Structure 1
Amino acid sequence: MDTENLGQHISKQFNQDLENIREEVLAMGGLVEEQLKKALEAFSQHDIELANEVIANDDRVNNFEISIDEDCIKILAKRQPAASDLRLVSTVLKAITDLERVGDEAEKIARMAVEIAETKDQSPLNGKLPYSALQNLGNVVKTMLHEALDAFARMDADAAIEVAKKDKKADDEYDAISRQLMTYMMEEPRSISKVLDFLWSARALERIGDHAHNICEYIVYLVQGQDVRHLTWDEIHRLVKSRN
């Protein structure tokens, strides 16, 4: 795909419409990144006020999705885009769905942060829950999300492939946390409720990694013009290299 010529049309307004939806996706992504960062901080610091801020701001994420979706529909109706322009609109529509779901997962983490903070002095597991492991998982998926958005901004398929490969690390870290928490539940049945809150938070982070992975697949589709959802990343890498 000739990214330098993307959106170069006789109509300057069409150019601007395409650029606007790209910028809106990045703005939405920035908000979602901030939501995730604050949710993790609220969880690790038992900060109920910050967690409630994340919960309240979820409406802003939803409104972004609605607004961008409407802009894409207007472009489809008025401009009837083809080729790379159509792929851009399609990619945007898919990406904002994943970004909205990342926002939902961040809100879940914030809600779990409130639950855990309100009972933190009542659990026999105080000091035992793997907060550092959860933070490590959080750092992996935060990096994935940031780099996926950066790859989208630069329309860089190679970078998207490298980001997507990090999903295996996120999955491995989630599996390790799950095994540890299962052991805690067997040792301390009275703490099952709190451990499950912790487990759901880890699961939310693992899902965020999946959504970042999805965005990377959309980027490859945007740049290469081929749906790669059912290919391995080694196959995708060879495809990208063969077309460069």
Structure 2
Amino acid sequence: MFQQDSYRQHISAQFNAELEAVKNHLLEMGGLVEQQVARAVESLLSRDSGLAEEIIVNDELVNQLEVSIDEECSRILARRQPAASDLRLVFTIAKVTTDLERIGDEASKIARQAVRLSEEDASPSNFVEIRHIGGHVANMLRKSLDAFARLDVDMAVETIVADRSVDAEYSTAMRSLITFMMEDPRTIGAVINEMWALRSLERVGDHASNISEHVVYLVRGLDVRHVEPDELVAHVEESERNS
């Protein structure tokens, strides 16, 4: 089991500092990505093309952080040759970084839809689905990052299970938007853009769930990527009893 401060217990103070630094840089990247998602949703709801353009430009900052963190992880692996829990930590950081970069990409896609929607007539849905699912996935992303920062398996499991609700809400929202298009073909352009934005939000939820799966692996050494949500809690509890 990965202990909260195990990576701080090395003889080499420099190794401790490197591990702490790369973890902090990951959380910094997470904070930026959270902001990108929140602002992307805001730009869509307000049809603010100026804000949307800022988000698209700022995606390069997310990409730069991904490259920088990957380089840090590579240096640690090459110089320190970490074992056991330290190796899990470095691998987990590398995987979480990839998911955060992809969330940043989805935020940029949402912003691009905001630019397009700023040129369309108002959406017939009044963005009800965007507001609801956007809030849900933003909460999932925040909790997944908190779970990583605190090494909190229970919070990670909650986030993984929550993704099923997002998937159900997404399916309902898509059916609703299809109905709008069928009732009034003039709304097709706006509704299609909104559908693409919803798809990106659903993907944000998927990546937040992935981050939480990485946390479970980091703390418990369990690969839960293919465990059904209904079975997840029991699976994690059983591993704790057997550890």
TM-score grouping bracket, smaller chain normalisation: over 0.9
Once the 2 structures are TM-superposed, how far is the Cα of residue 234 of structure 1 from its aligned partner? 4.3
Matched-pair contact (CA < 8 Å) for 1:108–1:201: yes
Q: Secondary structure at the match of 1:119?
A: coil
The match for 2:153 is 157
Distance 1:127 1:105 in 2: 21
Write the mapping of 1:177-216 to structure 2, written as runs, cut at 5 A: 177-216=173-212
Write the mapping of 1:6-17 to structure 2, written as runs, cut at 5 A: 6-17=7-18
Write the mapping of 1:1-244 to structure 2, written as runs, cut at 5 A: 1=1, 2-120=3-121, 126=122, 128-242=124-238, 243=240
Once the 2 structures are TM-superposed, how far is the Cα of residue 3 of structure 1 from its aligned partner? 2.0
Distance 1:221 1:127 in 2: 42
Once the 2 structures are TM-superposed, how far is the Cα of residue 127 of structure 1 from its aligned partner? 5.4
Unaligned runs of 5+ in 1: 121-125
Distance 1:172 1:101 in 2: 22
216-225 vs 176-185, greater mean Cα deviation:
176-185
Distance 1:239 1:177 in 2: 32
Task: Look up the equivalent residue of 1:159 and give its one-letter code.
Answer: M
Q: Secondary structure at the match of 1:81?
A: coil
Matched-pair contact (CA < 8 Å) for 2:123–2:191: no
Distance 1:13 1:240 in 2: 34
> Structure 2-normalised TM-score?
0.94
Deviations along 1:119-145, whole A, 9 cap, x unmatched?
23xxxxx45224122111000000000
Matched-pair contact (CA < 8 Å) for 1:7–1:85: no
Once the 2 structures are TM-superposed, how far is the Cα of residue 22 of structure 1 from its aligned partner? 0.8
> Structure 1-normalised TM-score?
0.94
Matched-pair contact (CA < 8 Å) for 1:105–1:204: yes
Task: Look up the equivalent residue of 1:152 and give its one-letter code.
Answer: F
Distance 1:66 1:235 in 2: 36
Matched-pair contact (CA < 8 Å) for 1:158–1:240: no
Q: Secondary structure at the match of 1:228?
A: coil
Distance 1:55 1:180 in 2: 28
Unaligned runs of 5+ in 2: none
Once the 2 structures are TM-superposed, how far is the Cα of residue 43 of structure 1 from its aligned partner? 0.4
Matched-pair contact (CA < 8 Å) for 2:124–2:187: no
Once the 2 structures are TM-superposed, how far is the Cα of residue 239 of structure 1 from its aligned partner? 3.7
Once the 2 structures are TM-superposed, how far is the Cα of residue 31 of structure 1 from its aligned partner? 0.1
Matched-pair contact (CA < 8 Å) for 1:163–1:216: yes
Distance 2:231 2:160 in 1: 13
Aligned-pair identity in percent equals 50
Distance 2:69 2:14 in 1: 17
Work out the number of aligned pairs and report it.
239
Task: Look up the equivalent residue of 1:219 and give its one-letter code.
Answer: V
